[in-house]
Amino acid sequence: MNIVTIRQTARRMWQLHSRARLDDWIVPMARLAQLSWRRGLITRASLVAGLLALGTIRSLATEIIGAAQQRQESQLAQADRERSVTGVNTTEDPPSALAAGAPRRLPPVFVQEQPKTIGDLRSIEHHVSGLVTSVSKAVVTLQVGASTGSGVVISPDGLVLTVAHVCRSPGREVTFIFPDGRKAKGKTLGINHGMDSALARITETGPWPFTPPGSLDQANLGQWVLALGHPGGFDAQRPVVARLGRIIRLGTDAVQTDCTLMAGDSGGPLFDMHGRVVGIHSRISDSTAENFHVPITTYFATWERLAKAENWGEQPVLAVAWLGTRGVDHEDGCLLNHVNETGPAFKAGIKVGDIIRKINGQEIRSAGEYSAYVRKQKPGDEVNLELTREGKQLSVKVKVESRRR
């Protein structure tokens, strides 16, 4: 047995296993919802519901945006993924900003620390409206398997910057849709899961509308930026959606702006006022000022690996406090309807049907309050659960574990 078949078998087993586990608790849920569709539909619906539910459970501070539709991938897409990518062999130099000629002088308001007058705002307005017209033609929608996101073409022969969580792996087939509705076929190239950066290319013959990449070397806090993309996925009735903002933080891991982003924007471009790509939309968090973009710098620092369709890096692990329980609202607190057998709650003797009344002395009034309280704990902490089991009051100590999301 060679390595590939071992890997495939292992993956297949994992799939079967995880699917069985999903069905365990979703089918009763589907019944609850009184779905009386065909059996096939139930299974599909339950898988979708399961994925959505899992998504909800994994709710955390930072949220990966992007895939507007998170449907279960088809077997085909899965097979595609397993084929892996030795077939693509691209080595080319990154397109350079210089190719576009020297940047034009910007209106003075963009070098000021802060606009001071209505005239300054008018100057921004005039410049930005022109910019949207000139760069939006290079903004594309990507359809990769069952997920969709955005991207930006940076060379006339069709190299596209996007993010890892839309592409997921190298060598997958992509359909690119331009704002005018034109479609083109292509492939995903290199993926860096750690930074969430990814490269793709249109394989049909160009030239394609493009906009050159820029640089963050001279970037400042407060610099004005324009975000384009397809929030919510491609919509033929709606052109590319424009948002304006300023750079709030410049990190090596991410650029943060107040250009609001949404699912479907993932992979879309962040432009400087010269119309050059300086970031790629990646993640959002609770506040509307927490929008994170992959810095353009990382694409060029790893250009060779991206062009060679390498697949590397891991999604950063965020340790999440975890007891391994799920519950629903109950008049006395939170009624547990699921206890994970590998979780710390199970090990401490917590059972399905237990009603959690208090954690560490704090009263719990709903399932939401319960999970919010758990999430606020640190892995390693011990929590005291006061609960009702078959009419009896109990108190159980559980050590909080962590789980990657």
Q: Where do contacts with another protein occur on this chain (CB under 8 A)?
A: 29, 32-33, 36-38, 52-53, 55-56, 59, 63, 65, 68-70, 113-118, 120-122, 124-125, 128-133, 221-222, 231-232, 237-239, 241-251, 258-263, 265, 284-290, 329
Measure the CA–CA gap between 87 and 81, rounded to whole angstroms: 13
Nearest approach, Cβ of 24 to another protein (angstroms)? 18
Give the DSSP letter string of 21-69. HHHHHHHHHHHHTT----HHHHHHHHHHHHHHHHHHHT--SEEE---S-
Q: Nearer to another protein by C-beta: 59 or 362?
A: 59
**SS3 for 81?**
helix
The C-alpha atoms of residue 53 and residue 26 are separated, in whole angstroms, by: 9
Considering the complex, state which of residue 14 and residue 37 has its C-beta at the smaller distance from another protein: 37
Q: CB nearer to another protein: give 262 or 355.
A: 262
Q: Which helix (H) or strand (E) holds 309?
A: none
- Report, in Å, the least distance between residue 184 CB and another protein: 23
* Shortest distance (Å) from residue 341 CB to another protein: 23
Taking the least distance from each CB to another protein, the nearer of 241 and 400 is 241
Comparison of 130 and 206: residue with beta carbon closer to another protein: 130
Pairing status of strand 333-339 against strand 159-163: unpaired
Q: How far is the CB of 50 from another protein (least distance, A)?
A: 12
Tokens, residue 36:
């009386």
- The residue among 114 and 205 lying less far from another protein, judged by its C-beta, is 114
Write phi, then psi, for 48 (nearest 5 degrees). -60, -50
Specify the residue, 55 or 207, whose C-beta has the smaller distance to another protein.
55
Structure tokens belonging to residue 393: 């009051």
Q: What angle (nearest 5°) sits at the alpha carbon of residue 305, between those of residues 301 and 307? A: 100
> What are 115's two structure tokens?
């606009």
For the bound state, the minimum distance from the C-beta of residue 258 to another protein, rounded and expressed in Å, comes to 5
Q: How far is the CB of 249 from another protein (least distance, A)?
A: 5
Please say whether the beta carbons of 280 and 152 come within 8 A. yes
Question: What is the closest distance, in whole angstroms, from the C-beta atom of residue 27 to another protein in the complex?
Answer: 14
Distance CA 399, CA 381 (A): 6
